[in-house]
Structure 1
Amino acid sequence: MPATTAPTQLSTPDTPIHAVVAHDFDAVNHTIQTQLASRIPLVEAIAQYIVDSGGKRMRPLLVLLAARALGYDGDKHITLATLIEFMHTSTLLHDDVVDESHLRRGRATANDAWGNAPSVLVGDFLYSRSFQMMVGVGSMRIMEVLSAATCTIAEGEVQQLTNVGNPDVDEAAYFETIQGKTAMLFEAASHCGALIADATPEQEAALQAYGRYLGLAFQLVDDLLDYRGDATAMGKNVGDDLAEGKPTLPLIQAMATGTPEQAKVIRQAIRQGGLERLDEVLSIVHETGALDYTQRRADDMADKALAELDKLPPSEYRDRMAMLARQAVDRQT
């Protein structure tokens, strides 16, 4: 994908990509507030905290854009977009507990503010609420897609956990992991947007693949930024993945192409976790071209996502989906 003259920030709810579905987004925000209601004040407090924490809401955006790109003019895509956001939010709550994270999007994580047990239980509440809403959508096909996605996401998270501290994870295993833990929900979002709009088989397959490739591109850039990003802009610390002993693609590629001595340094850093060797690792991933390689792989995924959009009819919604793919790989946060 050709480089842009200046990297752009990924779309947020007040940017042109969201503006094309601004009315839908207002409806999603209203539904989020309504569906967060609980008779237990702590449930509302924690759920509201994480939902309001400044996320890009890409997954509900994919539902809205995909449905509108195929001419959908009903309102069930609002419910669908909301429940997708709840599913994503629940995974954030669980992930932060598993990773023992203290910072997300520049703020204290919910587990840091309230503790692990309430965070896990509120994550469970949001998952349960999403399935309640799924019943309201009234599509067995959508329920099939989302229930399968939920299992795949959980498996991806467990796979990532088992990869921690293992320097023998190769590129194929890495891609299998990020397909499960990240790309699956992107894929489910755009796929369900197609299903709610009664897509043709070709359109359904195209939008499903678009979401998958976009999700892979997004995670690749996330993993790249862990070694290139700015902590203040990102809302997390540079080197967090290394500190947790996660063998992401920049490290996998550096071990594959570096000298035996460089590979040994990275292997030890992955096994040990922590940041004692961060400076050495940063030098190695730059010297071996591992960051550029990761960027190229992200660009490849974005290009594949763009190719799938050619199977959709021209529209301003399709144009915004193309813009989203480009911004996903050009971003700095």
Structure 2
Amino acid sequence: MGRVNAFILSRTGSEVAMIPEVANHLINSGGKRLRPMLTLATAALSDYRGDGDVKLASAVEFMHTATLLHDDVVDGSEMRRGKLAARMLWGNEASVLVGDFLLGQAFKMMVEVGSLEALRILSEAASVIAEGEVMQLAAAKNTATTEDEYLAVVRGKTAELFAAACEVGPVIAGRPREEQAAARSYGMNLGIAFQLVDDALDYGGREAKLGKKVGDDFREGKITLPVVLAYRRGTAEERAFWKRTLENGEAEDSDLSEAMRLLTKHGAIDDTIARARHYGAIARDALGIFRGRAEAEALVDVVEFVTSRAH
């Protein structure tokens, strides 16, 4: 990870002064670097020798950072990782354009590795992530969103990059197809678990851990799994509350406590965490063919780390 961090910093340079300023504001803001860590871990699990894992891990982090810059513009977010979002400091236009620069750099890194298959996996992921973002726009503020529809958004928007980050490790090591598929399955299900825990934490977490305000999803009118569950289980009067606050955007400051009450009443937060643990268990089982290897045990620990954030 030390080599990855150094490589990331070396690739944010540009003669256009605003680009490294905006990029480094987010890159140096204390993110977990979970996705590039997964690329390094699955490459190590596959006995990979070379520096392609460092370049692909860096490309994955650049892709992730680019989506965060774009996300904050789309969502109108004010905070990111406990600091002012880049858009609040440099504006929406700069955030979008620097995100595009980082995507361009990510693809340059992929080409340098020289694996057409790794390039295919990550470029396909970039396309699927964008589709997930557009799907989320369509589902946003729509209280009729079903759990299946919401999970389709999560698979595209969040889990696809986890899956790709894990799959490219065994790919560049030339491992058998079943190992590549197992690594991808692990990443996909870990990514779903990660997002569902995030959804639960937005209503039940602590701000210091979240890096944003509790209830930001509610204030931004986002339909997430806890809301989907509470809406489905609610009375006509309760559904009217969700429609007013989220669909119509007429939420008042006092409405957040009522939203929390309804989520608690219908067990929506606890059930969201239970769903996350279910996907975490699938991720663990996907590692079965690697049993006995130290890297596989470490990846099992990652599942525990992701799901235990909900405590």
What TM-score, normalized by structure 1, do the two folds share?
0.90
Instruction: State the Cα distance separating 1:71 from its structure 2 match.
Output: 1.2
Q: Counterparts of 2:180 and 2:250 in 1: how far apart (Å)?
A: 44
AA in 1 matched with 2:178: E
Distance change in 2, residues 1:272/1:278 (3 Å): farther
Given that 1:164 and 1:244 are in contact with CA atoms closer than 8 Å, whether structure 2 keeps it comes out as no
Contact 1:242 1:273 in 2 (8 A): no
Note the residue ranges of structure 2 that are not aligned, 5 or more in a row.
none
Decide whether the 8 Å contact of 2:200 with 2:310 is kept in 1.
no
Q: Does 1:168 pair with 2:139? A: no
Tell me if structure 1 keeps the 8 A contact 2:189–2:283: yes
Q: Percent identity?
A: 42
Unaligned runs of 5+ in 1: 1-24
Give the RMSD, CA atoms, in angstroms: 1.2
Once residues 300 and 137 of structure 2 are traced to their aligned partners in structure 1, the CA distance between those partners, rounded to angstroms, is 33
Matched residues in 2 for 1:332 and 1:111: separation?
29
- Checking the alignment, whether the CA contact within 8 Å between 1:190 and 1:210 is kept in structure 2 is yes
Is 1:278 the counterpart of 2:261 in the alignment?
no
Q: Give the equivalent residue in structure 2 for 1:144.
A: 120
Counterpart in the other structure of 1:314 = 292
Compare relative contact order (CA 8 Å, sep 6+) and give the higher one, 1 or 2.
Answer: 1
Aligned positions of 1:57-96 closer than 5 A: 57-96=33-72
Q: What's the counterpart of residue 10 of structure 1?
A: none
1:233 to 201, 209, 217: 209
Match of 1:114 in 2: 90
Q: Provide the rounded CA distance (Å) in 2 between the counterparts of 1:94 and 1:274.
A: 25
Q: Tell me which moved more, 157-166 or 167-176.
A: 157-166
SS, match of residue 289 in structure 2: coil
Which residue identity is paired with 1:233? K
Describe the SS at the equivalent of 1:198: coil
2:167 maps to which of 172, 187, 191:
191
Partners of 2:244 and 2:251 within 8 A in 1: no
Cross-structure match for 2:21: 45
Cα distance in 1, alignment partners of residues 22 and 307 from structure 2: 31
Q: In structure 1, how many angstroms separate the alpha carbons of the residues matched to 2:202 and 2:235? A: 22
- The 10-residue stretch of structure 1 (254-263 or 101-110) with the greater mean CA deviation from structure 2: 254-263
Structure 2 partner of 1:26: 2
Q: Is the 8 A contact 1:245 1:274 kept in 2?
A: no
Q: Cα offset for 1:268?
A: 2.3
Higher helix share: 2
132, 142, 149: which one pairs with 2:108?
Answer: 132
The alpha-carbon deviation at position 306 of structure 1 amounts to: 0.1
Deviation digits for residues 107-145 of structure 1, max 9, x if unmatched? 011111111111111100000001111110101111111
Do the aligned residues in 1 keep the contact of 2:66 with 2:103 (CA within 8 Å)?
A: yes
Q: Secondary structure at the match of 2:175?
A: coil
Correspondence list, 1:182-221, <5 A: 182-221=158-197
Aligned to 1:301: 279
The offset of 1:264, in angstroms, is 2.3
Judge conservation of contact 1:211–1:305 (CA < 8 Å) in 2.
yes
Partner Cα separation in structure 2 for residue 232 and residue 85 of structure 1: 23
Check conservation: 1:70, 1:312, Cα contact below 8 A: no
- 1:26 and 1:146 map into 2 onto residues whose CA distance is 22
Which whole-Å CA distance do the structure 1 matches of 2:246 and 2:289 have between them? 42
Question: What is the CA–CA distance in structure 2 between the aligned matches of 1:313 and 1:213, rounded to whole Å?
Answer: 18
1:197-226 deviation per Cα after TM superposition (whole angstroms, max 9, x unaligned) = 212111111000000000000000001111
TM-score (norm 2): 0.96
- Answer whether contact 1:242 1:274 (CA < 8 A) is retained: no
Q: Distance in 1 between matches of 2:208 and 2:183?
A: 34
The AA in structure 2 aligned to 1:110 is A
By how many angstroms is 1:332 displaced? Answer: 4.5
| Corresponding residue to 1:157 among 133, 137, 160 | 133
State the alpha-carbon separation in 2 of the partners of residues 266 and 225 from structure 1: 19
Q: CA deviation at 1:272?
A: 2.6
